[in-house]
Structure 1
Amino acid sequence: MSAQTVDVRTAPHPPRPAAPPPRRPALLSRPRVRALRAHVGTVAGVVILAVLLWRLGTGVLLQGLRRLDAPSLSAALAIGLVTTVCSAWRWQLVARGLRIRLPLGAAVADYYRALFLNAALPGGVLGDVHRAVRHGQSAGDIGRGVRAVVLERVAGQLALTVTGTAMLLTLPSPVRAQALHLAPLVALAVVGALAVLLALHMNRAAPSRRGRALDRMLGEARAGLLSRRNGPGVALSSAVVLAGHFATFLVAARVAGCTAPVPVLLPLAVLALAAMGLPLNVGGFGPREGVTAWAFGAAGLGASTGVAVAVVYGVLSFVASLPGALVLVARRRTGGYAPAVPADVSSEKYGAKESARLASSSLPFSGVPREGRPMTPDSV
C-alpha cells in the first residue's frame, strides 16, 4: 500500500446535513385552517337553524311564506332599489375621498351584484369581498379599493349603532333596562378610545411604522367619511338606507301577521339588523332568526312570530337583490368591468393595461395572479 493511500475507516466524514424541521400535522396545515375558518360561519348558521326547527317546528318557517304576495314582493323591490342606489352613492363618496373615481352607474350595478352574492353564498360577506377586490383591481390599487369598501360598510354600521342605541334607550324593548345600565359604560369606553387615538395622533416625536399606518388610516377615514365634501352625503345616504331596512322589516312583520304597533317593532328591528351583521349564517339565515325569536318572545309577541318575521324578511331581502343576478350574468357574458381609475393617476397609464387584464377574469371570484399568487377572497 502506498503512502498516499488513505484509510477510509480513519478518514474524516463530511458533516451530515441538518435534519429538516418536523412537519406540522395535516390537521393543522394552513389550507385546512383557512378552510375551517371559512366554514365556521356556515356551521354556526346551520346549528342555529337546527335548534330553532327542533324547538319550534317547521310550521314557523312556512307560516309567513304562505302570506307572501305580489304587493309585498313589489314593495321589497322598490325599497331595495332606493337603498341600493343610496348605498352605491355612499360608496362613490367614500371612494372619491380616497381619490378613486367610481361612476354611479357602475357602483349601483356592482352593489346589486354584491348584495346577490351576499344573500346566495354562505357567510354573508363574500359579495363585499368580491366588490372590494374587483374595484381595487380596476383602480390599480387593491388596498385602496378594499379600504373604500370597508369604510363604506363602517358608515352603515355607525348609522345603525347610533340610531339603534337611541331607539333602544327611548322606546320600549326587551333590552331597554340592560341598555340603560350599559350606556354609561359604553360611553366611557368610547371616550377612552378617542382619548387614546388622540394621544397617539399628537405624539409624533418618534413616529413608527405602526404609527404611520394608524395616521394613514385615520386620514383616509376622515377624508372618506367626515370631510365637508363627503360627510353630509354619507350621513344622508346612511339614514335613507337604514330607513329602508326598517321599512322592509315592517313589511315583513305585516306579511307574517304581526299587528304590533311600529314603536314596538322598531327596537326589535334594530336587534335583528345587528344580528345580521354577524358573518355566521347560511344565505343570510341563522343569527337573525335566533335573535328575532328571542326578542319577539321577550316582548310578548311569541317566538314563533319572530321566526316567521325573520324568514319573511330574509325572503324579501333576497328578492330585492335579484337584479344583482342579472348584473352577474351580463358581466360574465361581456367579460367587462368599468375601470375606476384613481383621480390622481392618468387614465393613459392604467386604462389599456387594466382593461386587458380584467377582461381575462370574468368569473365572480376569479382574479389575476399578483406576485405569483392568485387573488382569492382569503388574501384580502
Structure 2
Amino acid sequence: MKKTLLTYGLKLSVAGLLLYFIFSHIHPGETAAALRAASPLYLLIAVAVQILCNTVASCRWRLIMERLGFHAPRLFYLRSYFKGLFFNQGLPSSIGGDGIRILDCSRIGSAKEAFFGVFIDRVVGLAGLLLLNIAALLMSHKLLPPQVEYPLLLILVALAIGLLMLFLLRKFAFFAQGKYLGFLGNLSERYFQVYSSPSAISLQLGLSIFIHLLSISAFFMNGLAVGLDFPLHVYLALVPPVVLLTILPVSLAGWGVREGAMVGFFMLVGADKTKVLAFSLLCGLTTLASSLPGLVIYLTQQGKPQVKEAEEISTQASE
C-alpha cells in the first residue's frame, strides 16, 4: 500500500510540475478563454467517437482471448475493457486497467494466459499505431522539419521491427531458458498462437488501424472545437508520437506529458500554442468522459459474488 501511494504521489507530482511549467509559458487566462469558447457539439461528437473506438477495441481483445482458449460473451469483454479504461485514468490503485482485465479473465481461465492476452492486445494496438503513423508521415512528407521527421521515422520503424521480432523469438532455444528470457519465449509462443494465419494477422492489424483512426478522429473533433483548423492528415502525423510518449509511466494518465508534447509538435506546423494547450486538455477530458461507463459497470458489479458471476459467464458462453 505504501509503495502504491508513493508511486501515485510521484506521478501526481510529475504531472503537476509539467503542467505548472507549461502554464508558466502559456497564459492561463487565454487558455481558459479558449476552453470556454469550445464548441459543445464537436466535444460531444469527440466523446461519442471515443466510446465507439473503445467498443471496437474490446472486440479486438475478445478475438485475441478466444484464440487463447477463453470463451465468454461479448458483453463480458466490453464491460471489462471499459472498467480497465476507467482505472487507467489516474486512480490511486495498485491494480491498473490492465490488471482489472487480467483479474476478470482469471475468473474464467488461467491468470497466466489472461496476462498474455492483455499483453498481446497492447502489442497489436501499438503495432497499428506505428503503421498508421509511418504511413501518415510518408504521405505528409515535409510537414515536419527534416531534423524532426527523419529521426521520428527511424524510431517508429525500429519499434515496428522490434514488435516483429517478438513473433520470431519462439524459434530460438535461447529464449526458452531463465525467468526473463523464458517469459519472452512464452510470449512469442502465444503471439504465434494468436497470429498463426494471415487472415488473423490481417484482421487484427486492420482492426488496430481502424481503432486508431477513430481515436485520432476524436482528437480531430477536439481540435475543431477550439479552432485548430488543420486537415485530418496533420493529426494522423502529429498525434501518434504524442500517444506513444503518454504510454511512458511517468505521470498520471499522461497528464502534463501529453500537453507538453502536443504544444511542441503542433507549434512545428504553426499552430497557436494557447489553442493547442486547450485542445490537449480537452483530449484528456474526452478520454476521461469516454471511460465513465466503466465506472458505472464497476459500481453495479460491486457486491456481486465472484463465483456467481463466473458461473453466469460460463452459462452465457455455452449458450
TM-score bracket, shorter-length normalisation? 0.7 to 0.9
2:258 maps to 288
- CA pair 49-104 structure 1, distance change in 2 beyond 3 A: same
Instruction: Tell me, in whole angstroms, the C-alpha distance in 1 between the residues paired with 2:196 and 2:40.
Output: 41
- Which residue of the other structure, out of 70, 85, 95, is the alignment partner of 1:100? 70
Q: Distance in 1 between matches of 2:290 and 2:163?
A: 38
Aligned residues of 1:256 and 1:308 also touching (Cα < 8 A): yes
Q: Which residue of 1 aligns with 2:229?
A: 259
Structure 1 residue matching 2:248: 3-state secondary structure? coil
SS of residue paired to 1:139: coil
Q: CA deviation at 1:119?
A: 2.1
Deviates more, 1:153-162 or 1:31-40: 31-40
- Between the aligned partners of 1:229 and 1:266, the Cα distance in structure 2 is 26
* Cα distance in structure 2, aligned partners of 1:190 and 1:274: 13
Q: Aligned partner of 1:89: which letter?
A: C
Relative contact order higher in (CA < 8 Å, ≥ 6 apart): 2
Encode CA deviations 1:13-32: one digit per residue, 9 max, x unaligned. Answer: xxxxxxxxxxxxxxxxxx76
Structure 1 gap segments, 5+ residues each:
1-30, 352-380
1:150 correspondence with 2:119 = yes
Deviation sequence 1:325-375 (CA, Å, 0-9, x none): 211221115455753999xxxx69xx9xxxxxxxxxxxxxxxxxxxxxxxx
The answer to whether residue 218 in structure 2 is matched with residue 243 in structure 1 is: no
Match of 1:368 in 2: none
Task: Determine if contact 1:115/1:324 at 8 Å carries over to the other structure.
Answer: yes
Partner of 2:56: 86
Task: Kindly indicate whether the alpha-carbon contact (under 8 Å) linking 2:46 and 2:218 is maintained by their aligned counterparts in 1.
Answer: yes
Secondary structure at the counterpart of residue 249 of structure 2: coil
Q: Distance in 2 between matches of 1:192 and 1:265?
A: 25
Is residue 89 of structure 2 the alignment partner of residue 119 of structure 1? yes
Residues 20-48 of structure 1 show CA distances to partners (whole Å, capped at 9, x for unaligned) of xxxxxxxxxxx766654454332221211
**For the pair shown, which has the larger CA radius of gyration, 1 or 2?**
1
Q: Does the CA contact (< 8 Å) of 1:276 and 1:284 recur in 2?
A: yes
State the TM-score, normalizing by the size of structure 2: 0.83
Q: CA deviation at 1:151?
A: 0.9
Superposed CA RMSD = 3.5
> Compared with structure 1, are the counterparts of its residues 183 and 87 closer, same or farther at alpha carbon in structure 2 (3 Å cutoff)?
closer
Identity %: 19
- Structure 2 CA distance, aligned partners of 1:282 and 1:255? 25
Amino acid at match of 1:158: A
Shift of the 201–246 alpha-carbon distance from structure 1 to 2, 3 Å rule, reads: closer
Which amino acid in the other structure matches residue 44 of structure 1? V
CA distance in 2, matches of 1:152, 1:185: 21
Which position in structure 2 is the counterpart of 1:160? 129
Query: CA offsets, 1:279-314, max 9 Å, x none?
Result: 233354221001001112222213222211101111
**What does residue range 336-375 of structure 1 map to in structure 2 within 5 Å?**
338-339=309-310
Q: What's the TM-score, normalizing by structure 1? A: 0.71
